[in-house]
Amino acid sequence: MNTITLYNASNEERLSWRAWSVMFRELAESRELINRLVMRDMASQVRQSFLGYLWILLPPVATTVVFSLLRQANIINVPMADDALPYALFVLVGTTIWGLFTQTTIMATSSIAISGDLVSKVYFPREILIFSATIRSVINTAIRIGAVIAGFIIFVYPVTWQVLFIPVLLVPIVFFAVGLGLFLAPINTMMHDISRMLELFFQFGMFLAPTVYPTPVLAAVDSSWKMLLYLVHNLNPVSHVIHAIQHILEHGTIYLDSGFWVATGISFLVFFMGWRFFHACEPLLAERL
Amino acid sequence: MPDPLIEVHHVGKKYAKSLKHAMAYGLADIAKSAFIPRRYRSVDFATRLASIEEDARAAAPVALRKSEFWALQDVNFNLGAGECAGIIGHNGAGKSTLFKILSGIISPSTGSIAIRGRLTSLIEVGSGFHPMLSGRENIYISGAVLGMGSKEIDKKFDEIVAFSGVEEFIDMPVKFYSSGMHVRLGFSVLAHLEPEIMLIDEILAVGDMEFQKKCIDRINRMREENMAIALVSHNMHRIESLSDFVIWLEHGKVKMRGDTQEIIEQYRAWEIEKYRQALEPARPGGGSGEKISLHKVELLKSDGSPATRFGYGEDIRVRVKYEARERIPDPKFQLFFYTDETLVFVASMLIDGDCPEAIEGPGQVTCTIRNPDLLPRVYEVAASIRESSGIVDLVDWNRDAHFSVTSEGLDTIPMDGPCPVGLLMQAGIVHQDYTWDLDAAVGLGAEGCPTDE
């Protein structure tokens, strides 16, 4: 017997507990389409471009160079602890991780609106667009990690085997970012302001995480402004992951504080709630594009 | 009886007219659908369908919010394997909305739809294509988007390429394809999906004749293999030749549904009536020259009663009322019959040479058209009067009157072919008596026409 597809006005199916099995089944069935879309967009990203994949490397490298020069010239004063990474490596690591978070969020959020043409012509589970955007962002980050490794080699900075755990530590960031994307993408189909707002916010948001300066140490907080930065950094789940990764690089040991576990928990919660939310409002996506 | 491939129950769809409202309602709907959980539904299909039907019957009418309107309301139909449903209606009648709901792109506001099997729509041609990638890569992408696995595509790849006729350029970026090649490749992927149901919104209007023919042949073949079709077209001939039944949508509602020929005939009559009504207020009354005025152009039946509707082949009398302010010798009366912008024929004293010796004061001239061959349409009549030499207009002509020909009496035309009504309605303005001489048709006797089975 043929497969039966049902469309009806009530949204109950999408809200029942059974929706989870539908969501996972749809995801499993569309692995191939996700692969195709990722390959399509990766390939088209670099065709008709002379520097190709190099463009992906440039943003964190440029930020690193600029901030290193500013600090070298004493225009900005960023005190670093004695056992900390060299400042250039600190910025390179921080911006690469922050980039993973921001890029994933932005790409996931705008993925549906960008593919509006496709969405309004063919039906397929729309999550696919979000997940393929996510995979692209993860691949971009993998390429950037190549630049980070090159940085460590240039600075002849020794690391231990524990660095191999770093990719695992990045997982919560990805889930957090996709979760946000799943919440924001449906809204972004109606109000394109969302993705623009995100871009603007993330540009300044770089200062709300330990990317170009370390999180103030609580014992050394001597002004209410520093206290504010301390609080903001600690409320930002991404900071905790960056802390953990910096710890591995600086001390060669894995140290996951409670902040990291809370951040991880929040990330997965945001992801599953976001997915659920997205699935519930999927039928509304095409008509208001 | 096997289950129909498409079941549509009480389907409706509302839209907001203003973008601002659309955005606000969209956010409200998202919030509602995400945070108001409802009861759990049965996993079993039959129970679920039954409860949906029950809901549809019992449901309180969904209220319209400010600035909303029904793009589609209470549409019901079933479509079985191998059947073709023709969907007709004016622009904005809800045809595209219906198709979008059927293909799952938007969800209905009321009612439910069950679809058994793979459904594809011709508007999906070329979906997922990326201009920078080659034809080869795009076949895989488009195939995946439309629901084919890569093994399935691998298997059909050569066939797809051969059918599209772009073998030579298969490794060239699609960006450099002509629009025809683009469509051919897109359709080729679609056709090899081997869907059980296909939605066609106007037959492909792109590609050369040869390829269009290939597409239609392909669609016909798939139909023989029991594919169901829903067809939207403004071409009544196509609708008639393909459809088993017709659904006529008007302002989002099913105005009529049923036998193809009957509905097409009614649709045409309705169109004519609408056009006639649209003409009504714009009609200027007569014309006035220096020496003579045209008061009125009247249409009469052969018994002298005024009329605006005539059956096919029924005599039409046109009476022109005038008032001459001075004596005019040998005036030449003319009548022009138009449909849309086409001049159908002229009744003119400049041709036949008849004319009154002289006219003065008020009077009237009547012209009778015997057994006209005009097919059902709206016709406009313009009148003019020229002086005796036929060179100078005494009264400028205006399209002063109009009448419509109805389908009444059409049955005097032999109509034993496969699609007489749609073609007669669509194709010509007049019908002429004709016969075929089949004696020299080799291999077929005079009665040797194969009958439809």
Q: Mean pLDDT over residues B258-265, rounded?
A: 84
Question: Quick one: pLDDT at residue B282?
Answer: 46
Give the least confident one: A121-135, A142-156, B256-270, B419-433: B419-433
At residue A65 the predicted structure's pLDDT band, cuts being 50, 70 and 90, is: very high
Percent of chain A with pLDDT over 90: 36
Question: Quick one: pLDDT at residue B104?
Answer: 84
Task: Please report which helix (H) or strand (E) contains residue A130, including its range.
Answer: helix A127-154
Q: Tell me the residue range of the domain where A264 lies.
A: 12-288
Residue A109 has pLDDT above 90, yes or no: yes
Per-residue pLDDT tens over the stretch B65-112: 777 888 888 888 888 888 889 999 888 888 888 988 888 888 888 888
At residue A178 the predicted structure's pLDDT band, cuts being 50, 70 and 90, is: very high
Looking at the domain assignment, is residue A156 inside a domain? yes
Question: Quick one: pLDDT at residue B1?
Answer: 55
A32 CB neighbours in chain B (<8 A) are 144, 149-150
Q: Token pair of A170, please?
A: 């990045």
Angle formed at CA A233 by CA A75 and CA A200, multiple of 5 degrees: 70
The answer to whether A34 and A135 have CB atoms below 8 angstroms apart is: yes
A283 CB neighbours in chain B (<8 A) are 33, 106-107
Q: Do B55 and A10 touch (CB under 8 A)?
A: yes
Distances (CA, A) of B211 to B165, B179, B195: 9, 13, 20
State whether residue B227 is helix, strand or coil: coil
Query: Where do the domains of chain B lie, and which CATH numbers do they carry?
Result: 6-273 (3.40.50.300), 289-453 (2.70.50.60)
Residue B60 has pLDDT above 50, yes or no: no
Phi-psi category of A74—alpha, beta or left, where left has phi over 0 and alpha has psi -120 to 50? Answer: left
Residue B434 in contact with partner chain A when CB distance is under 8 A: no
Residue B434 has pLDDT above 80, yes or no: yes
Looking at the domain assignment, is residue A126 inside a domain? yes
Question: Quick one: pLDDT at residue A148?
Answer: 92
Interface test with A, best of B105, B171, B225 (most A CBs within 10 A): B105
Percent of chain B with pLDDT over 70: 84
Return the beta strands (E) in B172-306 as ranges.
Answer: 197-201, 228-232, 245-250, 253-258, 287-288, 292-300
Q: Token pair of B169, please?
A: 């350029």
Residue B331 has pLDDT above 70, yes or no: yes
Higher pLDDT, A80 or A261: A261
Domain tally, chain A: 1
Question: Quick one: pLDDT at residue B59?
Answer: 47
Per-residue pLDDT tens over the stretch A11-51: 666 666 777 888 888 888 888 889 988 988 888 877 777 77
Looking at the domain assignment, is residue A3 inside a domain? no
Question: Quick one: pLDDT at residue B38?
Answer: 42
Interface test with B, best of A30, A114, A183, A287 (most B CBs within 10 A): A287
Question: Quick one: pLDDT at residue A251?
Answer: 87
Give the least confident one: A157-171, A190-204, B384-398: B384-398
Q: Look up residue A53 and give its DSSP letter.
A: T
At residue A181 the predicted structure's pLDDT band, cuts being 50, 70 and 90, is: very high
At residue B55 the predicted structure's pLDDT band, cuts being 50, 70 and 90, is: low
Q: Token pair of B424, please?
A: 């007669």
Question: Quick one: pLDDT at residue B149?
Answer: 83
Task: Tell me which residue has tokens 């073609």.
Answer: B423
Distances (CA, A) of B31 to A22, A272, B65, B107: 21, 17, 16, 16
Residue B82 phi/psi, 5-degree rounding, is 80, -5
Q: Is the pTM of this model over 0.90?
A: no
Find residues 148-177 of chain B whose CB sits inside 8 Å of chain A: 149-150, 173
Looking at the domain assignment, is residue A1 inside a domain? no
The C-alpha atoms of residue A245 and residue A162 are separated, in whole angstroms, by: 10
B100 CB neighbours in chain A (<8 A) are 120, 286
> Nearest to residue A287, comparing CAs of B416, B244, B437, B97?
B97
State whether residue B205 is helix, strand or coil: coil
Interstrand relation of B292-300 and B287-288 (parallel, antiparallel or unpaired): antiparallel
Looking at the domain assignment, is residue A5 inside a domain? no
Q: Do A4 and B114 touch (CB under 8 A)?
A: yes
Q: Token pair of A186, please?
A: 């449906």
Q: Mean pLDDT over residues B41-50, rounded?
A: 52
Helix axes A31-46, B135-146, angle to 10 degrees: 150
Question: Quick one: pLDDT at residue B43?
Answer: 44
